[in-house]
Amino acid sequence: MIWGWLQVDEVLDVEKVDRSKYPWAMEHPHFRSKAKELNNTVYVARQKISLPLSKTSIDAPGAGVFTHLKDDLVLTNKLLHDSPRNWILPKWFYPEGGKVKMTYHPNPLSWGIDTGIGLTTLKCASRGQEFILDSEKYPESIEWIAGLLAIR
């Protein structure tokens, strides 16, 4: 299920950032850790969501959580009850024509098209709190996201 969103405004490398510029972040777990970690990164959200290519006008903060469960937020394939890792996605999600896949999903065998329902299937990675899809490579994602934010 999609539980929230965050549109990135800044990317902070915790090991290199000038901490005096971000006093609010000092309580964040990534900043509190004493261990030096490779790729220790904090993503700062935009103040307001910005979807300039969308036809839908959205007035939403740059990050938030959905307050109610709605069918459009559930990615689990309801026909396959064996695992919440079996996802069903809009057809345009399918990484055809050499498109870069969504992060953490490089295996082509994880992806499929269900011709019966005309949607993309995905055996989702078992671990991850965020997956990234390049909206420049998948412009259909902008209206999809706008639609999800409109129902919040």
List Cα–Cα distances, 91 to 22, 29, 56, 79, in angstroms: 41, 37, 20, 17
Mean pLDDT on 55-60: 88
Between 152 and 117, residue with greater pLDDT: 117
pLDDT value of residue 99? 87
The reported pLDDT for the residue numbered 81 is: 67
Q: Which of 38-42, 72-76, 125-129 has the lowest mean pLDDT?
A: 125-129
Label residue 112 by pLDDT band (50, 70, 90). very high
Higher confidence at residue 53 or residue 89? Answer: 89
Please give the C-alpha separations between residue 71 and each of 7, 15, 77, 98, 123, in angstroms, as whole numbers.
Answer: 22, 40, 11, 30, 19
Mean pLDDT, to the nearest integer, of 54-62? 90
Of 152, 148, 146, which Cα lies nearest the Cα of 56? 146
